[in-house]
Amino acid sequence: MGDTVATKKTSNAPTTTPDPYEVGPLGLFQLVDEKGVQVAPVPDLPDGLPVRLLEAMLFQRALDQRMLNLQRQGRIGFYGTAKGQEAAVLGSGAAFESQDWLFPALREGAIALWRGMKLDHYIAQCFGNGADPTLGRQMPCHYSDGPSRYVSLSSPIGTQISHAVGAARAAQIKGESDRIVGGWMGDGATSSNDFHAGMNFAGVWKAPLVYVCQNNQWAISVPAAAQTASETFAVKAEAYGMPGLRVDGNDVLACYVATKMAADRARRGDGPTFIEMLTFRLGGHSSSDDPSKYRDETVAKQWEKRDPLERHRTWLLEQGAWSDEQQEDFLAESGKTITDAIQRVEAAGAVATATLFTDVWAEIPPMLHDQQMRLEREDTV
Ligand SMILES: Cc1ncc(C[n+]2csc(CCOP(=O)(O)OP(=O)(O)O)c2C)c(N)n1
Ligand SMILES: [Mg+2]
C-alpha cells in the first residue's frame, strides 16, 4: 500500500480541474500539494468556505489537544484525536447538506460541530455527565446529535457501514429524493464483514450514499499493508459496481471537491461512490495507545511535514485570504471558547441516577418500576 503521497508532477500544470472520477482508484486527486502550492485550478467554491475550513481544522486540532489533556489529567476516561486527519474529516463532512444523515467512525466528531452540534454537548459526551444529552450512555467520542443528523458510531468496527446503507435505502424507499447519506470508516474497517455487506447492497440498490474511507495507514498497530493485498483501498469499489476515488486526504480542498461531486452524483440518483482519502494518523490510536511501541516514528515525523493545516494555511496566505494575525486571534479566541465550555460542562456533575429509568421504555415494566420506587426511597433516606 502506498505510504507516501506520490503525485505525478508534470511541468505543465493542468489548465482545468482534474475530474476525480477520471483520476480513478489508482491515482491520487490533488489540488494543492504538500508545500501549499496549487497544482490544478480550484473550482468555484461557496463564499468563505476555504477560510471556514481552516478555522474548523484549527479548532479541531486545539480541541483534540485539550480533550487529550483532560484524559491525561483523569478528568475524562478516553479520547481519540484526529490529529493529521483534519482535512479528510472536514473536507468530506462539509460537502453534505443539513438534511443528509451521517454515520461516522471514531474520528469525525468535528463534522458534528461543523453541522451545528453544541460544543458543550461535544465535551459533555466525553465527560458522560449531567450536561450530556445522551446521559453518559455511550463511551467518550461516540457523539450523536439529532438536529445535525449525526448518528453515534457503534464501537464494533465497520457496523456503521451497514447502518449508512440502510438509511440510504430508507430514503430511497420513502422517495426522499433530496436526502443522501454519508458513511465513514477507517482502513481497518475495510476488513470487516459489514464492509462487504454494506458495499454490496450500496451497489445493488444504487443507494444515495457516499462512503469515505480515511486511510490513515494504521488500524491501531496493524499497518495498511497487512490489512489488504489490493493495490489501493479505492480499487475495491469496482467489485461492488461503484466508482472508487482516491484523494490526497491532507488536501482539504481536494477532499471537499471530490466528496461534493460524489454527493451531487448520489443526489441526482446516479448511485454511490467510495472515496479513499490517503492521510496519516499522527497521534496514537487513542489515549490508550503508544504508537512508538509498534511503528517507526520517523515516518510520523515525515508526515508531520505534510500537515494539512499548514498546507491549507499556506494556500490561503497565497490567496491573500488569511493572515498570521487572523490566525493568532482565532487561536486565542478558540482557546477561550474551549476553556469556558469545559468549565460549564464539568460543573454539571454526575448524571442523575433516576435517568437510568428514563428514555428506555414507553411504559416501564413492573419489575423495573419496583426498582425505580426503591431507588427513590433510598435516595431520600
Ligand atoms: C469488531 C471490532 N474488532 C476490534 C475492535 C478494536 N478496534 C477498535 S478501533 C480498531 C482499529 C480501527 O482501525 P481503522 O478502521 O483503520 O480506523 P482508525 O482507528 O485508524 O481511524 C480496532 C481493531 C473493535 N472496536 N471492533
Ligand atoms: Mg486506520
369 shares a domain with 299: no
157 lines ligand 1 (CB under 6 A): yes
191 shares a domain with 59: yes
Query: Is residue 20 situated within a structural domain?
Result: no
68 shares a domain with 168: yes
Residue 368 has pLDDT above 50, yes or no: yes
Query: Is residue 28 situated within a structural domain?
Result: no
Query: Is residue 12 situated within a structural domain?
Result: no
* Number of domains observed in the structure of the chain: 2
> What pLDDT does 1 receive?
42
Residue 297 has pLDDT above 70, yes or no: yes
Report the mean per-residue pLDDT for the chain: 95
Query: Is residue 156 situated within a structural domain?
Result: yes
Query: Is residue 37 situated within a structural domain?
Result: no
291 shares a domain with 232: yes
222 lines ligand 1 (CB under 6 A): no
> 380: pLDDT confidence band, cut at 50, 70 and 90?
low
3-state secondary structure the chain: CCCCCCCCCCCCCCCCCCCHHHHCCCCCECCECCCCCECCCCCCCCCCHHHHHHHHHHHHHHHHHHHHHHHHCCCCCCCCCCCCCHHHHHHHHCCCCCCCEEECCCCCHHHHHHCCCCHHHHHHHHHCCCCCCCCCCCCCCCCCECCCCECCCCCCCCHHHHHHHHHHHHHHHCCCCCCCEEEEEECHHHHCHHHHHHHHHHHHHCCCEEEEEEECCEECCEEHHHCCCCCCCCCHHHHCCCCEEEEECCCHHHHHHHHHHHHHHHHCCCCCEEEEEECCCCCCCCCCCCHHHCCCHHHHHHHHCCCHHHHHHHHHHHHCCCCHHHHHHHHHHHHHHHHHHHHHHHCCCCCCHHHHHCCCCCCCCHHHHHHHHHHHHHHHC
Residue 169 CA to ligand 1 center (angstroms) comes to 26
Structural domain containing residue 200: 44-350
306 shares a domain with 249: yes
202 shares a domain with 69: yes
373 shares a domain with 283: no
Nearest residue (CA) to ligand 1, atom 21: 186
348 lines ligand 1 (CB under 6 A): no
357 shares a domain with 302: no
217 shares a domain with 89: yes
279 shares a domain with 364: no
306 shares a domain with 372: no
285 shares a domain with 256: yes
CATH number, domain containing residue 298: 3.40.50.970
Mean pLDDT of 176-194: 98
Query: Is residue 175 situated within a structural domain?
Result: yes
Query: Is residue 135 situated within a structural domain?
Result: yes
Residue 236 CA to ligand 1 center (angstroms) comes to 19
Query: Is residue 49 situated within a structural domain?
Result: yes
Residue 3 has pLDDT above 80, yes or no: no
Q: Which is more confidently placed, 166 or 13?
A: 166
Ligand 1 atom nearest residue 185's Cα: 15
> What pLDDT does 43 receive?
97
> What pLDDT does 2 receive?
40
